[in-house]
Each structure stands twice: as structure tokens, then as C-alpha cells.
Amino acid sequence: MKRIYFDNAATTSLDQEVLDEMLPYLTEKFGNPSSIYSYGRESRLGIENARKSVAKILGANPGEIFFTSGGTESTNTAILAAIRDLGCRHIISSPIEHHATLHTVEYFHKAEGIRLSHVKLLPNGHVDLEDLRQLLASAPEKTLVTLMHANNEIGNLLDMQAVGNLCKEFDAIFHSDTVQTVGHYPFDLRHTHVHFINGAGHKFHGPKGVGILYINENLKITPFIQGGSQERNMRAGTENLYGIVGFAKALELATKEHEAHSNHINAVRMYMAEQLQKQIPGVTFNGDLFGRSLYTVLNASFPKTEKSEMILFNMDIAGICVSGGSACTSGADIGSHVIGAINPDPNRVAVRFSFSKYNTKEEVDEVIAKLKELL
């Protein structure tokens, strides 16, 4: 059966060029990067060249880039460091963050008594910057602001420059979960007031199990994981050598082809939105689809019926991969916390379609035809 994959916000397929770059490090270049002989030096060189490449693309210094296991570890490291090393006793976040952030800030709120505030959201799901200003202005403690750059379920984009400027004005620490945007948008970290960002290779056709944490060079923090001197004493454990090499290659390819791919993906996304509006009665969209929005994500809302409640299951049977929200909760019988925060209508069913450079308008036509049949 032919399969159509419209869940690229959950994970993407590995690019063949990325696999080709990784293969030597899976075979003959297998040395431990901490070893001093030639095999080890060869592996170390692969890691450091990858670090330089990532830093150059993101507009950072190589010393500010640390390789991790992915977005969740990077987020945990940043939040812990802000509390333990940078003196933050107050956290401002939002109710629609990824659970990697939400669960972490809730843990520190309960376990260590860190004060936790949630910024208000506008009706379209964007952060209310005026409320953020008021929360910062009224906070007597050192504050960490942790807000995601692009929401993984509805696609809304945060104005990072505006939030960064507010954090600068009130001397707050700023962490942004950029897992959905590293590899999809250009960054210039030297000219962005942000202290931590994170990325995950599998969101832009790189390997799973590898990510980055950017730590601004002016911060002095201690490790999250103890036990070794890897990553300049900041992240113990033998490095994911081929994952790191693959991450850098995937980011390089994504950057080189950004304009063409982003235009193509957005055209597919907006074509699907247009066809849904034309052909599916009662459809609406969650988030700011026609405004400041991630070009890979389309979150559609359908009237709740017996048929629409079974939509994900029946589309899977038809070979169509979509999601009801974040992949991290797709197996749980609970509604999306994001949709619950911005559009808590029990009479609607939300479906997230997310696209990659490999998707086509012809696939959209096939999915629309199946939706008409199912609904």
C-alpha cells in the first residue's frame, strides 16, 4: 500500500546525503573521540568540524555549541542551569509549550519552590507581549523566560527579537525551544538577545538521538550530566559521533536549499488549506495560519461526529500518516494541551498535517479525497 507521510513535525526521513556523510563514521572511522591515537583524533576532528559548521550557520561561536541527545535534554540543561547557576527563582512560560519544557518547569516549581507564571495568550494563540512585559516588570526575583520559537502543534511563530529585547530590558534569562525552527529558518545568534536555544537533527532530515544546545558565551554554568570531560567538560558520555556528523550535514543542506524548500513546502501547505476550505464543510484552522506561522504546519479543526472522532485511525488504515497534536502524546487518550489552551471546544476534532520537501500537491489531492470519503 502506498503511504503518504504528513507528520514531519514529529520526525522527518533521513536525507540520503546525510546518511552518506554518516556512513564512514559507522564503519571505518569508529575511534573513540577521547582516544589520543589516530582513530580517536580522526573522530575528534569530525566532531569539531561539525561544531564549526553548525556555529557558522547559526551565527554563533563554536565554543557556544554543545552536542546533546536532542531537544529534551537541551531544554532540561538550560532550565536547570538558569535555576542552579544563574540564580533564577521565577520562571515565565506559556501553557502551550512542548512537554519537554512544561513538565520541566512544573517539576522545579513543585520540587524546589520556583515561582511559575504563565503568560497570557491572544485569541490566535500568540504570546501576549504586553502581559509578558507586566510579568517581568512585577517580578522581584531573577527570572527565566522560556518560550518556544514555533509551536509544534499549531505552528505559531514567536517574535524572538521582541521577547529578547524585553528580557534584556528586565535583565531576565531567555531560553527558546527552537526545535521546530533550527534547520527551517536562518538564525543570527550574535544579533539575537537569547541565552539558550536548542535543536534536534530529526526535525530537518538528520538522524534521531542528536541535538544541540547553544549557550551564550557570557554565561558560566555547570554540567547537567556528570561523569566525563566530553564537550569541554559540559556533557559527560562518549559522543554520538555519527549523529553529530549527520546533524551538521543535515543543517548544511537545509540552509543551502532553504529558500527553494521553504517556498515549496509552504505552497503545499497553503494548497491543502485552500482545498480543505473548498471541499470539507465546517473546517476551520487552529493558530495563526495566515499570519506569523511556521511554513511546515497546518492544524485543521473538524466538526465532531462519530466519523471525525475516528479520523486518525481510519487515515492510518488508508496509509496516511497525520497526528492529533504532538507526537509525544499521540499514543495517549487525552486531548492536546495546546488546542485545550487556545480553542477548548469539545465539539471539534483537531488534526495536524505537517509537510517536508518530499511532499507534493498530488499527495494533498489524495488526502483530501480520502477525507471526503471518511467524513
Angle in degrees, CA 218, 222, 228, rounded to 5: 125
Length of the chain: 375
| Residues 79, 369: Cα–Cα separation, whole Å | 45
User: Active-site residue 167, yes or no?
Assistant: no
Q: How far apart are CA 94 and CA 99, in angstroms?
A: 11
Instruction: Look at the block and give the residue holding cell 503511504.
Output: 3
Pairing between strand 90-93 and 4-5? Answer: unpaired
Are 270 and 330 contacting, i.e. CB atoms less than 8 angstroms apart?
no
Residue 295 grid coordinates: 511554513
Looking at residue 150, what DSSP letter applies? B
- Is the C-alpha dihedral spanning 339, 101, 158, 248 positive or negative? negative
Assess contact for 213 and 77: CB atoms under 8 A. Answer: yes
- Stated as kind and residue range, the H or E segment containing 93 is strand 90-93
Element (H, E) at 371: helix 361-374
The torsion of the CA quartet 119, 120, 126, 131, rounded to 10 degrees, works out to: -70
Q: How many CA atoms lie within 13 A of 223 on its CB side?
A: 16
Q: Is the dihedral of CA 86, 88, 94, 97 positive or negative?
A: positive
> What is the three-class DSSP state of 332?
coil
DSSP, collapsed to helix, strand or coil, labels residue 54 as helix
Residue at 221: amino acid letter: I
Tell me how far apart the alpha carbons of residues 375 and 369 are, in angstroms, rounded to a whole number: 10
Exactly one of 88, 167, 321, 328 is catalytic; which is it? Answer: 328
What is the rounded CA–CA span in Å between residue 148 and residue 157? Answer: 8
> Which residues are tagged catalytic?
328
